Amino acid sequence: MNVTLLITAIAVGAVIPIQGALNAKLGLAMIHPMQATLVSYIGGTIACIAALLFVQASLPDWKRITDTDWYLYCGGFLGVIFVSGMLYLMPKVGIANMLAAAIVGQLVMSLILDHFGFFGSLVIAVTPSRVIGVLLLLLGLYFIQRQ
């Protein structure tokens, strides 16, 4: 595996607790957590449009949008669940606890997706060493959440 790509992935991952903390604070400032989710997504939409302009890419054409399988648009729906869940739970359980638990959930689902090659992903079989890796992360969650 390319070390530069792994370091980049770690840096991208480092943004998640900052985003979560900001969204949690935004959630406390709003009347309802879903309002904060909406405001966060509006900000994300503006940032995405700016990024498209920066890289000189256009918006996708309508035919490409309508010809795409419907289930591929569920990522946005799942993103709303993730963001609203994070901003609701972070103030109650803490940033590290929330993210450690989320990472365990992400890795369990990732093993399943990899194993079966869902959504055209690279097929990587579940092996004992991969399961042990997830179990060690679960053990890490136990130690992170201890007071």
Residue 85 and residue 24 in one domain: yes
| 116/54 same-domain check | no
1 and 57 in a common domain: yes
pTM as predicted: 0.79
Q: Are residues 78 and 146 in the same domain?
A: no
Residues 65 and 131 both lie in one domain: no
- Count of domains in the chain? 2
Is the domain of 73 the same as that of 8?
Answer: yes
pLDDT tens readout for residues 25-58: 999 999 898 999 999 999 999 999 999 999 988 8
Q: Which two tokens stand for residue 38?
A: 């909406």
Mark whether 48 and 112 lie in a shared domain.
no
Kindly report, residue by residue over 96-129, the tens digit of the pLDDT: 999 999 999 999 999 999 999 999 899 999 999 9
Mean pLDDT, the chain, as a whole number? 92
Domain residue limits at 125 = 95-147
